[in-house]
Structure 1
Amino acid sequence: MNHFGELTERMNNFREELLNARPMVCVERAKLITESYKEHADKPMVLRRALSLENILKNMSIFIEPETLIAGNQASSNRSAPIFPEYAMDWVIDELDKFDKREGDRFYITEENKEALRDIAPFWEHNTLKDRGLAAMPDESKVFYVLGIIKAEGNITSGDGHIAVNYGTVLEQGLIYYKERTEEKLKQLDLTDYNNLNKSYFYKGILIVIDAVASFAKRYADLALELSEKETNASRKAELLEMRRILNKVPYYPAESFHEAVQSIWMIHLCLQIESNGHSLSYGRMDQYLYPYYKKDIEENNITRDIACKILSNLWMKTFTINKIRSWSHTRFSAGSPLYQNVTVGGQTVNRKDAVNPLTYLILRSVAQTKLPQPNLTVRYHRGLDDNFMKECIEVVRLGTGMPAFNNDEIIIPSFIEKGVSEEDAYNYSAIGCVEVAVPGKWGYRCTGMSFLNFPKSLLIALNDGVDLESGVKLCDGVGHFKDMNSFSQVMEAWEKIIRDFTRHSVIIDNCADIALEKDTADVLCSALTEDCIERGLTIKEGGAVYDFISDLQVGIANLADSLAAIKKCVFEDKVITSKQLWNALIDNFYGEEGKRIQDILINDAPKYGNDEDYADLLLKEAYDIYIDEISKYKNTRFGRGPIGGVYYAGTSSISANVPQGAGTLATPDGRKAGEPLAEGCSPSHAMDKNGATSVFKSVSKLSTDKITGGVLLNQKVTPQMLSKEADRLKLISLLRAFFNRLKGFHVQYNVVSRETLVDAQEHPEEHKDLIVRVAGYSAFFNVLSKQTQDDIIERTEQVL
């Protein structure tokens, strides 16, 4: 028997239906937005965006599943992925006949729908976000994008996402509150000031989308009535009529019950996903803003705990219906089709009290019962977190879904306050997407997740005097070739020269993407629900949010550490390898007897990050701090335009980018062969962490985690047997408390699955269709991953408590 109980038969049937749904490509949105863009081509872009959302919500297919208590669908069928042509269309047309032949993340499309997309493609030629983003990049920076050293495809082929809007205010006030505020601001504008003309377009756009969302909800209310008139089951008939009542009320008017609140949240969340295909759209601190509705209904006997759990489980299944198709090259950075829709629970209230409440426990229970890769569940840890709650969290961990992840108040809140976030807002932060963090409803887009910078590849270029080994392109002036270096200080000098220059180019690429996003894809609804865009009359990309800090993502951190340690130890200290021998071995991919001998020395005779050895750990800190220092100098496109911040910080939430970035990286001085995956997040390289979990925690804690506010992603893996005894579960709780309280760790999450199970799932996928694994800062079904990503997960170190 599951510790958390089982889904009701009805909800379990719904779950099975979703798991068996074939992920199709839906073309409805693509056709409707093309139609709208053509009709309103003469209008300002912000109005064009608003009118296109209105057209989509008015005309897209809708349905209400027989099992559901919550209405709303993203596409023409569940688990189907809409196409968003305004962001990019070239890859869609190029890959139409390959969607169902991918190694992983397959999608299916009918021949009729292929033709529909080919028909609208000419309109979007040289007319998409990707086209404008690439055209904006200076040649000297664009070469980094082309060579894959700086990966930014996701920024110019989709919306931003990475945000949580102010769901609490939506529930308390309804969309009518936002409409009335907007009408008042519009009335006050002096249009002789040309700046106010742009504000007027934004305000008119908000009024359009608010009415469109209300009408969209009413479409479902009308459908519920229509279905009720045909329904013969009295119980289902009553449910449909209640759904009709609720959908005629929310999200336009305030919610007054738990069911109303959940339906309101879902309708807003859904419309935001239809407005833009930016992922990591998150629910924020749901146990805080939803609790008053649960508490009231429980106290007034309007609901039972079991019914509330069923409604939450229903919400998670609806969340799982949302899907996204990416280009194959981008898919490899996001294996498993993740949407990173994060729910945050626990943590502290703004007056520093433990925020755990009865709904917090119920959210844990409902996520555990549903056992799906969405939503992405995060627990905010603080030193006052109750042991009983920690035990409940570990019970969820034991289920093997990779959830919950733990983020640490003890490091994140001070880091925010130091950067200018008010204390009240800092205590109200939530996880966004993977492990990135922000203040819900007040933070701009992309708190983490701009471009990816490949650290190991950057090191190889640094050692090659600034020349990319594969293309032969001179990217910048170096300090000489590794074969001619006679001290390790020259290696570090080369690294510093290269990484500072590459960081500068990553910011240029980011800015080009942001300028294009601001100009061409204003997200009107999302901006309206983010403070304080309405007050300023600015969209999020124009500087409307209260806070706007972002980070790029650094990939292959552990490989950098182990490479530097191997060079310093084996070449310059012990002198067991010459610089020329090492370089030739790298170029030859450790081929032959001599290559194998050198590879063995690099792997076995040099200290490794993840073992609490200062030698490697502090080398990484020194190298990473150079990057942190450099990135902190730069500003994003919103700097000085209203938000607090407008600057960068570091982040290691590299999702599954370690696999494709490894595929494009030659052999590295840590002994890794060409094409093999890089280490993910800030986790040690596979099998290099030999001293147990405590040593891993200590190594990670030596990084400047207070400055890596974009997220310090740490994956750990244990077998189910390791947590089978209560004593071991208590030991894990003690270990977590030590990591977070004493070592000021930022984040950790666990895969609880044996190597044997994973290998068997590769060989017999039909017997493991429910197997969920933690890929990076998110979970996915193991079977949908490419073999290369599966292998990467299999090879992770199994820790012993």
Structure 2
Amino acid sequence: MVMTKIAPTTTLGDFGKLTPKMRRYREDILNAKPYVDPERAVLTTEAYQKYQDQQVDILRARVLEHILHNMTIFIEKDTLLVGNQAQHNRWAPVFPEYSMNWVIDELDTFEKRSGDVFYITDDAKEQLRQIAPFWQHNTLEDRGYAAFPEKSKLFYDLGLIGADGNITSGDGHIAVNYETVIKYGLVSYEQRIKEQMEQLDLTDIDQQKKLYFYQAGLIVIKSVRDFAARYALLAEQEAKKTTSSERHAELLEIARIMHKIPYQPADTFYEAIQSVWLIHLVLQIESNGHSVSYGRLDQYLEPFYEKDLANGQITAGQATELLTNLCMKTLTINKVRSWAHTEFSAGSPLYQNITIGGQTKDGKDAVNSMSYLILNAIVQAHLPQPNLTVRYHRGLSDHFMRQCVEVIKEGLGMPAFNNDEIIIPSFISRGIKKEDAYNYSAIGCVETAVPGKWGYRCTGMSFINFPRTLLIVMNGGKDPESGKQLLPNYGHFTEMTSYAELFTAWDKSLREITRQSVIIENTCDLALEQNYPDILCSVLTEDCIGRGKTIKEGGTIYDFISGLQVGIANLADSLAAIKKLVFEEKKISPAELWQALTDNFQGEGQEELRQMLLNEAPKYGNDNDEVDQLIVAAYQPYIDEIAKYKNTRYGRGPIGGTRYAGTSSISANVGQGHSTLATPDGRYARTPLSEGCSPAHSMDRDGPTAVFKSVAKLNTQAITGGVLLNQKMSPQLLRSADNCEKLVLLLRTFFNRLHGYHVQYNVVDKKTLVDAQQHPDKHRDLIVRVAGYSAFFVGLSKETQDDIIERTEQSI
């Protein structure tokens, strides 16, 4: 490693430069073309065929063992951290146990996609076609879909309730206990498992079931140890071949470390960060669930860094280089999704989140030297992954806030901010211990959980399309496109005489859709629990070992989940237009509005009507109580109803076992817009819905403070699954030091006085985005914030690009 000295806490904006090694490594990663990789699929099929008579926990452990023992491994010439997910960087493995139907159906269209393009060789296609027969009626998708009750299946088939990712992927949306791994090693988990096994009474069938989990846990721990040893041996072999004395020493150090971690505790910063990376990697080889996050990286790496720094074993520059290497390694992980799922996750995101800042368990400011080094590394890597979240609290220093703004100016869409002042009290009110609530981290996008103690999907369950639901309610419970009767008929909109009548129908209907979403979610969870346990992930999450249960069986300390509600601003603006223009001022009759929606505003005189909807009704995002309170009231039936229903782990061990709301809709606003006809806010059919809890495009006309005030009126204390707010600014705006200071003050006002939950910034101008559309080769590493994550702009579909271009550009 290069002995470059960096003082990250002294000069704002002085982030240093990539070392030559990391510059070359970054270039190699950017040049890597994303291919579909069949290797894991082939190895998985072999393992299932060999071990299909085993208990499911042991079967899944043997699958991971077979993959780790036989998959291709390599060490790139410029990396200091080792571990690869596929045969080449940025290649995406196929996980056949979750779904194969779409893989086979789309083999010849991966390269023809409008965005998120993947390449695939003829040989890879042939390998996948050869194993496909084994997986017929034998995948999560097959089992999950077959288990949907008929009525609920109708909501799923029509796309009103989206859950495609829940039956074509593993869970993810979790951060394991990395701190314990690096401090005590996997050997500590192994010892605890053996102690638990000795106490089992196998005449008790429940304890016999625990035996299988424990046996599986020992298998995966040994498999990870062996996997690390493969890299140690490879590093030794590579060291013999190199003619560079510097690289020879680096490879021997890599070999030494890999012989040790993650089985043994880490003693140095280098060992700790390599241990974290290898565990993070294997979790995503075990399962293709995304949003596997690092947790509070600055908190658990800081002691190792400070110790090495004091002993003269490392410099700030060396630590930054390793952190930058970690960021680049994070981007090497890739995931190929079905096109239907891709529309909900545009940009091939993995949502791998690093959290920094916040407070210690006793309420003190937790920002440390590692927090600054991570900011530095994120800027140097200049990549869309990993996500970076800063936990805001009142005691966060102006110095650190200004440094965060300097990172925002780099145009990475990072860091996002989550607010301790709202999240911690919300957690405590739900029964989470105070010391754990103070230790929360971001998971994936904006959702939050306690790392190492929380189950899957603190958000990320099913998606409910609010604007489309409104259209169904207005149509007497019948889907206007398919003609299917989905909900009870509470009267057709053309026959309604008051807003109260419509709202009553909305309230009752939304509660029924909420109930159906619970049925769908429970079905997905049941299929996953019965057939696809993640053994390593469970071992590393408390207290699965103590309970002898996997995460899905109720092994974790906490288990709260949330779905995602899409199109909040469209619903708000639609209700406001109906209330004012139809029922109060009577400028538009119910029949006229319904006909205009049916005609997509293409009939005679309907464009004038659409302009009235756009311009003569109040719009959410402008601190207008008239419309803001409408969406607060319209959202509340969902919040109240979802709280009634327990998840499948309720009463089986974890604290919680309940559900709450969440607005982190990722890029589902584009995909669900495709299935939504014209809406009463003046939106055309098939166009994107509003994103997260952000206002509709160009409807927030009174500046960022007004947006903050509108968003803050939502019941954020109850929307624990995340209140996602995207804002967009011109780079020119933040070139002024005064404007940077204003942004810091604006953020403090939003979080301290208004109790906002979250905000993140796109700092890019429209001109640059349009040019990138026209000349993608000139902008290959242009990064934008899509939703709760960032992505390379040129890799997105044109429709998603247009959605980002049209977002309101705020001033300060």
TM bin (shorter chain): over 0.9
Partner of 2:584: 573
Q: CA contact under 8 A between 1:210 and 1:525: conserved in structure 2?
A: yes
Q: Does 1:283 align with 2:294?
A: yes
Of 162, 178, 188, the residue aligned with 1:151 is 162
Q: Aligned partners of 1:370, 1:76: CA distance in 2, in Å?
A: 23
Report the AA paired with residue 162 of structure 1.
Answer: H
Q: Aligned partners of 2:482, 2:776: CA distance in 1, in Å?
A: 39
Q: CA contact under 8 A between 2:596 and 2:603: conserved in structure 1?
A: no
Q: Does 1:372 align with 2:366?
A: no
Of 285, 302, 305, the residue aligned with 1:294 is 305
Partner of 1:558: 569
Q: Aligned partners of 2:412, 2:183: CA distance in 1, in Å?
A: 33
Q: Aligned partners of 2:14, 2:522: CA distance in 1, in Å?
A: 49
Q: Aligned partners of 1:267, 1:627: CA distance in 2, in Å?
A: 40
Partner of 1:632: 643
Partner of 1:192: 203
Q: Aligned partners of 1:587, 1:227: CA distance in 2, in Å?
A: 67
Give the C-alpha shift of residue 494 in structure 1.
1.0
Give the C-alpha shift of residue 406 in structure 1.
0.2
Q: Aligned partners of 1:287, 1:373: CA distance in 2, in Å?
A: 19
Q: Does 1:596 align with 2:607?
A: yes
Once the two structures are superposed, what CA deviation does each residue of 1:400-439 show, in whole Å capped at 9, x if it has no partner?
0100000000000000000000000000000000000000
Once the two structures are superposed, what CA deviation does each residue of 1:171-224 show, in whole Å capped at 9, x if it has no partner?
110000000000111111000001111110000000000000000000000000
Q: How does 1:104-115 map to 2 (within 5 A)?
A: 104-115=115-126
Q: Does 1:31 align with 2:19?
A: no
Partner of 1:337: 348
Partner of 1:397: 408
Q: Aligned partners of 1:28, 1:211: CA distance in 2, in Å?
A: 22
Q: Aligned partners of 1:25, 1:675: CA distance in 2, in Å?
A: 30
Give the C-alpha shift of residue 364 in structure 1.
0.3
Q: Does 1:621 align with 2:632?
A: yes
Report the AA paired with residue 523 of structure 2.
Answer: C
Q: Aligned partners of 2:435, 2:373: CA distance in 1, in Å?
A: 26
Q: Aligned partners of 2:689, 2:730: CA distance in 1, in Å?
A: 23
Structure 1 ranges of 4+ moved more than 2 A: none
Partner of 2:675: 664
Report the AA paired with residue 127 of structure 2.
Answer: A
Give the C-alpha shift of residue 2 in structure 1.
6.6
Q: How does 1:351-362 map to 2 (within 5 A)?
A: 351-362=362-373
Q: CA contact under 8 A between 1:478 and 1:497: conserved in structure 2?
A: no
Partner of 1:261: 272
Q: Aligned partners of 1:41, 1:27: CA distance in 2, in Å?
A: 21
Report the AA paired with residue 135 of structure 1.
Answer: A
Report the AA paired with residue 39 of structure 1.
Answer: K
Q: Does 1:717 align with 2:723?
A: no
Give the C-alpha shift of residue 5 in structure 1.
1.6
Give the C-alpha shift of residue 686 in structure 1.
0.1
Task: State the SS of the aligned residue for 1:500.
Answer: helix
Q: CA contact under 8 A between 2:13 and 2:407: conserved in structure 1?
A: no
Q: Aligned partners of 1:167, 1:352: CA distance in 2, in Å?
A: 22
Give the C-alpha shift of residue 592 in structure 1.
3.3
Partner of 2:4: none
Q: CA contact under 8 A between 1:3 and 1:395: conserved in structure 2?
A: no
Of 239, 254, 274, the residue aligned with 1:243 is 254
Q: Which runs of 5+ in 2 are unaligned?
A: 1-11
Report the AA paired with residue 376 of structure 1.
Answer: N
Partner of 2:26: 15
Q: Aligned partners of 2:181, 2:55: CA distance in 1, in Å?
A: 27
TM-score by length of 1: 1.00
Q: Does 1:52 align with 2:55?
A: no
Q: Does 1:42 align with 2:73?
A: no
Q: CA contact under 8 A between 1:105 and 1:335: conserved in structure 2?
A: yes
Instruction: Report the number of matched residues.
Output: 801
Of 793, 801, 807, the residue aligned with 1:790 is 801
Q: CA contact under 8 A between 1:57 and 1:212: conserved in structure 2?
A: yes
Q: Percent identity?
A: 64
Report the AA paired with residue 194 of structure 2.
Answer: E
Q: Aligned partners of 2:122, 2:194: CA distance in 1, in Å?
A: 46
Q: CA contact under 8 A between 1:350 and 1:424: conserved in structure 2?
A: yes
Q: Aligned partners of 2:777, 2:42: CA distance in 1, in Å?
A: 36
Give the C-alpha shift of residue 693 in structure 1.
0.1
Cα RMSD after superposing both structures: 0.7
Task: State the SS of the aligned residue for 1:63.
Answer: coil
Partner of 2:777: 766
Of 694, 704, 711, the residue aligned with 2:705 is 694
Partner of 2:492: 481
Of 349, 357, 374, the residue aligned with 1:346 is 357
Of 214, 225, 232, the residue aligned with 1:214 is 225
Q: CA contact under 8 A between 2:13 and 2:403: conserved in structure 1?
A: no
Q: Aligned partners of 2:338, 2:208: CA distance in 1, in Å?
A: 38
Q: Aligned partners of 1:654, 1:386: CA distance in 2, in Å?
A: 31
Give the C-alpha shift of residue 593 in structure 1.
3.6
Task: State the SS of the aligned residue for 1:377.
Answer: strand
Give the C-alpha shift of residue 478 in structure 1.
2.4
Partner of 1:420: 431
Task: State the SS of the aligned residue for 2:663.
Answer: coil
Q: CA contact under 8 A between 1:739 and 1:745: conserved in structure 2?
A: yes
Q: CA contact under 8 A between 2:570 and 2:696: conserved in structure 1?
A: yes
Q: Aligned partners of 2:781, 2:103: CA distance in 1, in Å?
A: 30
Partner of 2:654: 643
Q: Aligned partners of 2:89, 2:156: CA distance in 1, in Å?
A: 35
Q: Aligned partners of 2:17, 2:592: CA distance in 1, in Å?
A: 60
Q: Aligned partners of 2:747, 2:319: CA distance in 1, in Å?
A: 31
Q: Aligned partners of 2:693, 2:102: CA distance in 1, in Å?
A: 31
Once the two structures are superposed, what CA deviation does each residue of 1:38-96 show, in whole Å capped at 9, x if it has no partner?
01111111100000000000000000000001110000000000000000000000000
Of 737, 751, 765, the residue aligned with 1:740 is 751
Give the C-alpha shift of residue 252 in structure 1.
0.1
Once the two structures are superposed, what CA deviation does each residue of 1:210-252 show, in whole Å capped at 9, x if it has no partner?
0000000000000000011111111110000000000000000
Q: Aligned partners of 1:17, 1:104: CA distance in 2, in Å?
A: 22
Task: State the SS of the aligned residue for 1:592.
Answer: coil
Q: Aligned partners of 2:789, 2:773: CA distance in 1, in Å?
A: 20
TM-score by length of 2: 0.98
Q: CA contact under 8 A between 1:155 and 1:513: conserved in structure 2?
A: yes
Report the AA paired with residue 392 of structure 1.
Answer: Q
Q: Which runs of 5+ in 1 are unaligned?
A: none
Of 407, 413, 427, the residue aligned with 2:418 is 407
Report the AA paired with residue 64 of structure 2.
Answer: L
Give the C-alpha shift of residue 609 in structure 1.
0.2
Of 440, 455, 458, the residue aligned with 2:469 is 458
Farther off after superposition, 229-238 or 341-350: 229-238
Report the AA paired with residue 647 of structure 1.
Answer: T
Of 588, 604, 616, the residue aligned with 1:605 is 616
Q: Aligned partners of 2:733, 2:627: CA distance in 1, in Å?
A: 29
Q: CA contact under 8 A between 1:659 and 1:676: conserved in structure 2?
A: yes
Once the two structures are superposed, what CA deviation does each residue of 1:301-335 show, in whole Å capped at 9, x if it has no partner?
00010011001101111111000000001001000
Q: Does 1:310 align with 2:288?
A: no
Task: State the SS of the aligned residue for 2:809.
Answer: coil
Q: Aligned partners of 1:738, 1:2: CA distance in 2, in Å?
A: 24
Farther off after superposition, 264-273 or 585-594: 585-594
